[in-house]
Amino acid sequence: MSRCTFICLYLFPSTKRAKGVNGLLEVKNVSGGYRGKKTVNNISFTVGKGEFVGLIGPNGSGKTTLLKIISNLIPKQTGQISLCSQELETYSAKELAKKIAVLPQNNELGFSYTVKQVVALGRTPYKKTLFDNWSTDDETIVLDAMKQTNIYTFANKDYLELSGGERQRVLLARALAQQPQLLLLDEPANHLDIKHQIHLFSTIKKFTENEKSVLAVFHDINMASLYCDRIIVINQGQFVKEMKADEELDVDCLSSVFEIPFTKHKHPQIPREIVTFHPLI
């Protein structure tokens, strides 16, 4: 434990211990990738209950691959992953879908559904069959997810006729309607203008109340610093460092990983740090 972490734990015991003590997700020495290659190699970290953890790293460093392994889309080659203290591979697909919802990088859907129908797909893990009854609870959950993501006004529009940013919000609503314990988000701010980015991250932050957790890939270091509890840095498939976002950002680490000299500054309104860079390199 660093001296700074020790002092914070000592000074703010209740707030610092509230999150992350009980690991919801535990990733231990995990490797995996494509065609036998270790695209991610020997990575370990935890995501605690109620934590919002950001995953950052350069293009091709393995962020999406790691999310795919955690969501059981591709098998791990080594290591252990447990969710709610249970090995990931012991979950049935349906049980896992009640625990983990994924917002993928790509928002293409190969069928023509209305926005509300797409969000309603989030209720599938709770249905015995495809034609199982639609309850008033399902209706309330779907409407609530649409309100939270500000898509209520175009609920009856065809998904395929939406802009990239609108689609992103619909898929987040579908993930919220799934009522998971853990949200895995791959570049959730893709396609979103700044107002909708702030709205989306505030919605995600709110999701972490009631001990629900988020692991999200970020390209924008400042957005990660402003919204996350903790930031995990990976490079070339390997764990590099984790930092608490409300303590000091390790700008030397970030500069070395992204090969850009960053300078850090205190945010003028909230106790967080942000980085800037020279526009010419």
Ligand X SMILES: Nc1ncnc2c1ncn2[C@@H]1O[C@H](COP(=O)(O)OP(=O)(O)OP(=O)(O)O)[C@@H](O)[C@H]1O
Q: What minimum distance in Å lies between the beta carbon of 220 and ligand X?
A: 12
Pairing state between β 40-48 and 262-266: unpaired
Distances, alpha carbon 192 to alpha carbons 142, 197, 253, in Å: 22, 6, 28
**In terms of CB distance, is 207 or 218 closer to ligand X?**
218
Q: What minimum distance in Å lies between the beta carbon of 38 and ligand X?
A: 10
**In terms of CB distance, is 41 or 148 closer to ligand X?**
41
Query: Helices (DSSP H) in 19-163: which residue ranges?
Result: 63-70, 93-99, 115-120, 136-148
Distance CA 233, CA 35 (A): 25
**In terms of CB distance, is 32 or 122 closer to ligand X?**
32
Q: What minimum distance in Å lies between the beta carbon of 63 and ligand X?
A: 4
**In terms of CB distance, is 3 or 35 closer to ligand X?**
35
Q: With contacts defined by CB under 6 A, how many residues of the chain interact with ligand X?
A: 10
Q: Is 41 in the site for ligand X (CB under 6 A)?
A: no
* Strand, helix or coil for residue 59: coil
**In terms of CB distance, is 49 or 63 closer to ligand X?**
63
Near ligand X in 100-129, by CB under 6 A: none
Query: Helices (DSSP H) in the chain: which residue ranges?
Result: 3-11, 13-18, 63-70, 93-99, 115-120, 136-148, 164-177, 194-207, 221-227, 251-258
Counting runs of H as helices and runs of E as strands, what totals does the chain give? 10, 12
Near ligand X in 49-78, by CB under 6 A: 57, 59-65
Q: What minimum distance in Å lies between the beta carbon of 33 and ligand X?
A: 6
Q: What minimum distance in Å lies between the beta carbon of 50 and ligand X?
A: 25
Distance CA 81, CA 189 (A): 27
**In terms of CB distance, is 39 or 208 closer to ligand X?**
39
Out of 2, 34, 134, 270, which residue is the one contacting ligand X (CB under 6 A)? 34
Q: Is 225 in the site for ligand X (CB under 6 A)?
A: no
Distances, alpha carbon 248 to alpha carbons 2, 10, 51, 118, 169, in Å: 12, 17, 18, 41, 31
Distance CA 207, CA 89 (A): 26
Q: What minimum distance in Å lies between the beta carbon of 236 and ligand X?
A: 9
Binding residues for ligand X (CB under 6 A): 34, 39, 57, 59-65
